[in-house]
């Protein structure tokens, strides 16, 4: 529960971070930092999807079946990813290994993202390059530490008391391959992309729009 709740908060922070960058138009003058961030975001989505399947509940199993089927326009990808032609125990093992490995790749991308960010300096609300620098320590460090403590407190409150329903209860039901849920309901941070994949009749077109939507 703690792991799943933290994943939701991580995506919340990422979306706020990306919204700030779009508001400040940082993509126009921090192109390399923005592109590395988009690749990192795609990797985070992939890692979260793999982790979503691992509980092997009714919703995650059928969610994996539907989503991987929508990726079938890419040749050889689905059989390689699933270890066969359908979601099985082999798929679960592959997803576990990839879910463990991809965060280490993400750490490398984080280092590159920070490196590209500091080549020309970070963005700011004014969108200008200024020689005026603000010391990070101690005021900024203490402010960030306070925000982090609030965030950790919210995570533990959500984990302990379930203030907001972040996951579908059907995912607590063991897998039944012969009974499909009435609706596939992925985690909230997948909803927009799942809607893009489902609303377009063509699998290839849906996949293309999905890729373009993540590279805004």
Is residue 143 pLDDT above 80, yes or no?
yes
pTM of the model: 0.86
Number of separate domains in the chain: 1
- Token duo for residue 117: 């960010």
At 17-53, the pLDDT tens digits run 999 888 888 888 888 999 999 999 999 999 999 999 9
CATH of the domain at 98: 1.20.810.10
Write out the two tokens for 180.
């499909």
| DSSP assignment letter at 174 | B
In a domain, 104, yes or no: yes
What is the pLDDT at residue 7?
92
Most confident range (mean pLDDT) of 90-99, 126-135, 191-200 is 90-99
Q: Specify the pLDDT at position 127.
A: 59
For the record, the structure tokens of 124 come out as 């700011």
Average pLDDT, the chain: 86
Helix (H) or strand (E) run with residue 101 in it: helix 89-120
- Confirm whether 93 is domain-assigned: yes
The answer to whether the beta carbons of residues 102 and 46 sit under 8 Å apart is yes
Give the range of the structural domain holding residue 65, as residue numbers without chain letter: 2-124+165-187
Beta-carbon contacts of residue 93 (< 8 Å; ≥ 6 apart) = 83
> Does residue 186 carry a pLDDT above 90?
no
């Amino acid at each position: 529960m703690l792991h799943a709740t933290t994943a939701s908060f991580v995506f919340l922070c990422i979306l706020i971070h990306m919204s700030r960058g779009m508001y400040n138009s940082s993509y126009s003058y921090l192109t390399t930092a923005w592109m590395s961030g988009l690749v990192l975001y795609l990797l985070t989505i992939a890692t979260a999807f793999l982790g979503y399947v691992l509980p092997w509940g009714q919703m995650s199993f059928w969610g994996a079946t539907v989503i991987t089927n929508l990726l079938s326009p890419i040749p050889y990808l689905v059989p390689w990813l699933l270890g066969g032609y359908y979601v099985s125990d082999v798929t679960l093992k592959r997803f576990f290994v990839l879910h463990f490995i991809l965060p280490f790749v993400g750490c490398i991308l984080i280092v590159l993202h920070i490196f590209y960010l500091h080549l020309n300096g970070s963005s700011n609300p004014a969108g200008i390059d200024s020689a005026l620098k603000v010391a990070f320590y101690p005021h900024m460090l203490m402010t960030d530490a306070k925000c982090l403590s609030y965030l950790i407190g919210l995570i533990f409150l959500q984990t302990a008391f379930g203030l907001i329903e972040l996951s579908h209860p059907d995912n607590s039901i063991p897998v039944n391959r012969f009974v499909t849920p009435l609706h596939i309901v992925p985690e909230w941070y997948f909803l927009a992309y799942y809607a893009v994949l489902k609303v377009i009749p063509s699998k290839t077109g849906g996949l293309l729009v999905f890729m373009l939507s993540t590279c805004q």
